[in-house]
Amino acid sequence: MVSSTNPSDLRREIDAAVESSPALAASRLRQFWKNQSDLSAAMFVCGRFEKLRGKLSLTPQRLFLLRSFTVEPIVPLLRAGAFCLGIDLSVQIGDFNAYSQEILDPDSSLYKFSPDAVVLAVRTADLAPDLWTQSSDLTGGELETAAQRVAATLQRCIHAFRERSSAALIVHNLEQPEISSSGVLDVQGTSSQGEAIRQVNRELSRLAHECRGVYMLDYDGLVARHGRERWMDERKFLTARLPVASENLLYLSQEWLRFLVPLSGRIAKAAVVDLDNTLWGGVIGEDGMNGIQLGPEYPGAAYQAFQRALLDLTRRGVLLAICSKNNPDDAMEVLEKHAGMLLRPKDFAAMRINWNDKAQNLREIAAELNIGIDTFAFIDDNPVECEHVRLALPEVMVIDLPQDPFAYARVIRNCPVFERLALSSEDAQRTALYVAQRERSKEQQQFQSKEDFYRYLEQEVEIAPLSAETLARIAQLTQKTNQFNLTTKRYTEQQISELSEAPGWRVLSTRVRDRYGDQGLVGVSITHDVGNVCEVDTFLLSCRVIGRAVETALLSAIASQAQQRGISRLSGYFLPSKKNAPAQDFYARHGFARAPHNGEGSLWTLDLLQQQISCPDWIRVTHKNGVKH
Amino acid sequence: MPSVLEQVRTIASDLFSLPASEIGDDATPETIANWDSIQHLNLALALEEKFSVQLSPEEIEQMRSVGQIARIIEGKLQATPN
């Protein structure tokens, strides 16, 4: 049954499900929000999710808005969108134009709120009134001086904020006016209003690149995308200080979400796509190789654009998988041979092309890739399949494709769950890693024992202290790893960097290579010496290397380094989460004793004077030296 | 299609977190507890989105009750038939 799209029926269904089935209610609320994304719907959606709080696994996130204009009506839209993506957002708003004081004063409400993320939203007209309204009075030199002054102001704000907080900072860049004050003259030289604003924005990009946890939001690009002429509502600005027209408030909230979603970790790790009428137009089983629509001309170009958008996702580390009801031979022929295909079999980490139930296929793909099914985005043109997945697997994010195939690519490019704020070298080649994993699994079946197979793998583990090159990946692993993670503590780059410099703290990473290639950086430990005890704060492994004794190699490195420092005891917590069962026997397996402890989770200790952690002889361990020992 | 008044009541019900049955056309900022200035702005924005109209500052000022709001919207919809 396809759920009714009649809003009042859907409202009734949601209200009934809020009591009986929270997961279904959440799924229906997402649908409701997609059909009607306005302020009144936002209030409804937020109200219902607030009732569901505690029954769903929502990620809390705290956002502080520093602003020079009215942003209050955007907040319900933002929170509704966030709820639908699994984020329970608490928002506090600073005073009008008080952003400098709030940033500079360490006792301000900004820092008291202890935000996870902060948006600095200041209009060109407020930050640079001379550039905005009087630019035609200024000489070339004066324009440049004005641009430098504005950039310096922003730089001071950013640096001061960075000194006082480890929260992520998202800075709006400056918008261009609808029509330049010098008309067409503005672009006939090198110094102009437009150029001065571009100069500030270039400087902001540079700052974002330089300062950890600082991101630039392309507000000028956002305004342009939706049309400068229609972006602003002058009357509402003059009466309510709200410069953004009502129809555009949603777009600004969505732009903020593109940053908040990756910061919260509620991202999609895999996009699972259908084939017929999704990757190409038509049905391969009926239309045949020459009949399907796919190529650079109308109408096949729409599907090529969609494939290009998916290919772009793989460059950010998103995995692709196929889940299609088809004859495998027909479908594989297109995937391997059709001249219009931009995606080939090597671009897919997993494939299920059969006539089985799609929910079952999705479960299998999740098991094969060893990632949580709640990190799947399911993309299908068929509303019946979408509905089936929604009901059978409410934790999967279902992306309905629009009627018009020429709008497919935009849906993917706009989707915040595919956004990433930093890339590690692992991200761009993630699919290749999974394809190699597929080969490994095939080979494993030919060996008598697991150990024989491990010997054959020629596994090499490199242990290294934190470095500038590994920082981004280490923070990413703490944010994304759910299964083999003893304490599931999430850290930003900024926090990891601060921890590693604090006395007694050590951050180690593990890189694994084997005969199939480099697995990349796949393990992290963070420890803290207290007296003669080394406390394990964080210990995690990427799901790619679970069950290969990499954890033993890392633990043994921690133990031997601790002994060298004269430490006599290791201790660590296991904090159970919904997903970290694969790590629950970690301490017991390595000879730790359970210690009496009243709080959350369990506490484990190992007496280093009595016991050692020995690493299996079939792993070669190398140590990369760092400053700390 | 529900009447303009009914649609206005649904919007008001969402914004003020009250059942639509408790919002009569005589409901005003004085009778609804959280109808403050921010909510008044939100209400104007929600109406603009819902009915694809633009409300002038004067019209927003005149939105003194749910019934009056419905009349303002009806007037605008008749002036610009879609």
| Nearest CA distance, A222 vs chain B (angstrom) | 19
pLDDT grade, residue B81 (50/70/90)?
Answer: low
What is the CA angle A440-A446-A449, rounded to 5? Answer: 95
Residues of A with CB below 8 A from B8's CB? Answer: none
DSSP secondary structure string for all residues of A213-239:
TEEEE-HHHHHHHH-HHHHB-HHHHHH
Whole-number Å distance between alpha carbons of A549 and A459: 10
Helices (H) and strands (E) in chain B, counts: 4, 0
- Is B17 close to A47, i.e. CB distance below 8 A? yes
**A396 and A538 in a common domain:** no
- Is A40 close to B11, i.e. CB distance below 8 A? yes
Within a 13 Å sphere around the CA of A242, how many CA atoms are in the beta-carbon half?
22
- Is A247 close to B48, i.e. CB distance below 8 A? yes
Search chain A and give the residue with CA nearest B9: A40
For residues A336 and A348, is the Cβ–Cβ distance under 8 A? Answer: no
Mutate to test the interface with A, among B14, B38, B66 (most CBs of A within 10 A): B14
Closest by alpha carbon to A559, among A586, A590, A531?
A: A590
| Nearest CA distance, B45 vs chain A (angstrom) | 5
For residues A240 and A231, is the Cβ–Cβ distance under 8 A? Answer: no
Does a structural domain hold residue A23? yes
For residues A261 and A289, is the Cβ–Cβ distance under 8 A? Answer: no
Residues of B with CB below 8 A from A249's CB? Answer: 45
Does a structural domain hold residue A142? yes
- Is A72 close to B41, i.e. CB distance below 8 A? yes
Residues of A with CB below 8 A from B57's CB? Answer: 235-236, 238-239
- Phi, psi dihedral angles at A555 (to 5 degrees): -65, -40
Average pLDDT of B25-39? 92
| Nearest CA distance, A238 vs chain B (angstrom) | 9
Pairing status of strand A533-541 against strand A517-530: antiparallel
Kind and range of the H or E run holding A527:
strand A517-530
- Is A72 close to B38, i.e. CB distance below 8 A? yes
Residues of B with CB below 8 A from A73's CB? Answer: 38, 41-42, 45
- Is A38 close to B41, i.e. CB distance below 8 A? no
What is the CA angle A158-A164-A167, rounded to 5? Answer: 75
- Is A73 close to B38, i.e. CB distance below 8 A? yes
Instruction: Look at residue A441 in the predicted model and tell me its pLDDT.
Output: 76
Instruction: Tell me which residue range forms the domain holding A53.
Output: 1-57
Instruction: Look at residue A170 in the predicted model and tell me its pLDDT.
Output: 98
A and B: number of Cβ contacts within 8 A: 49
Closest by alpha carbon to A512, among A560, A569, A552?
A: A552
Q: What percent of chain B has pLDDT over 90?
A: 87
Search chain A and give the residue with CA nearest B10: A40
| Nearest CA distance, A236 vs chain B (angstrom) | 7
CA dihedral A164, A166, A167, A169 (to 10 degrees): 70
- Is B46 close to A39, i.e. CB distance below 8 A? yes
- Is B15 close to A235, i.e. CB distance below 8 A? no
Does a structural domain hold residue A443? no
- Is B46 close to A40, i.e. CB distance below 8 A? yes
Search chain A and give the residue with CA nearest B50: A38
Residues of B with CB below 8 A from A247's CB? Answer: 48-49
Residues of B with CB below 8 A from A238's CB? Answer: 57
Does a structural domain hold residue A488? yes
**A64 and A53 in a common domain:** no
Chain B residues touching chain A at CB-CB below 8 Å: 10-11, 14-15, 17, 38, 41-42, 44-46, 48-50, 54, 56-57, 60
- Is B56 close to A235, i.e. CB distance below 8 A? yes
**A79 and A151 in a common domain:** yes
**A576 and A499 in a common domain:** yes
Does a structural domain hold residue A434? no
CA dihedral A109, A111, A113, A117 (to 10 degrees): 120
- Closest partner residue to A40 (CB to CB) among B38, B50, B54 is B50
**A256 and A286 in a common domain:** no
- pTM here is 0.81
**A259 and A329 in a common domain:** no
Alpha-carbon A29 to chain mean position: 22
**A179 and A280 in a common domain:** no
**A247 and A388 in a common domain:** no
Pick from A234, A264, A294: which residue ends a domain?
A264
Whole-number Å distance between alpha carbons of A29 and A116: 25
- Is B57 close to A70, i.e. CB distance below 8 A? no
Residue A493, C-beta contacts closer than 8 angstroms, at least 6 positions apart: A212, A213, A422, A471, A472, A475
Mutate to test the interface with A, among B3, B13, B41, B45 (most CBs of A within 10 A): B45
Pick from A403, A418, A433: which residue ends a domain?
A418
The domain tally of chain A equals: 4
Kind and range of the H or E run holding A571:
strand A569-574
Torsional sign, CA A554, A467, A500, A208 = negative
Does a structural domain hold residue A424? no
Total residues found in chain B within this entry? 82
Q: What is the DSSP letter of A596?
A: P
> Which burial class, exposed, middle or buried, applies to A74 when counting CB atoms under 10 A from its CB (0-12, 13-18, 19+)?
buried
Search chain B and give the residue with CA nearest A46: B14
For residues A266 and A85, is the Cβ–Cβ distance under 8 A? Answer: yes
> What is the CATH number for A563?
3.40.630.30
**A551 and A595 in a common domain:** yes
| Nearest CA distance, B4 vs chain A (angstrom) | 15
Pairing status of strand A270-273 against strand A484-485: unpaired
Does a structural domain hold residue A429? no
**A71 and A15 in a common domain:** no
**A80 and A11 in a common domain:** no
Chain A residues touching chain B at CB-CB below 8 Å: 38-41, 43-44, 47, 70, 72-73, 76, 233, 235-236, 238-240, 242, 246-247, 249
pLDDT along chain A (629 residues), means of 10: 66 92 92 94 96 94 97 98 97 96 96 97 95 92 95 96 95 96 89 95 96 96 97 94 96 98 95 97 94 95 98 95 95 96 95 94 94 95 92 92 96 97 83 80 74 82 92 92 93 92 95 84 96 96 85 94 94 92 92 89 93 87 67
Residues of A with CB below 8 A from B15's CB? Answer: 39-40, 43
CATH tag, B4-79: 1.10.1200.10
- Is A249 close to B54, i.e. CB distance below 8 A? no
- Closest partner residue to B45 (CB to CB) among A238, A239, A249 is A249
- Closest partner residue to B57 (CB to CB) among A41, A235, A247 is A235
Whole-number Å distance between alpha carbons of A205 and B71: 49
Residue with tokens 């020429």: A406
**A278 and A241 in a common domain:** no
Instruction: Look at residue A459 in the predicted model and tell me its pLDDT.
Output: 87
SS3 state at A92: strand
Report the DSSP beta bridge partners of residue A377. Answer: A271, A397
Q: How far is CA A185 from CA A179, A189, A190, A194, A195, in A?
A: 11, 8, 11, 11, 12
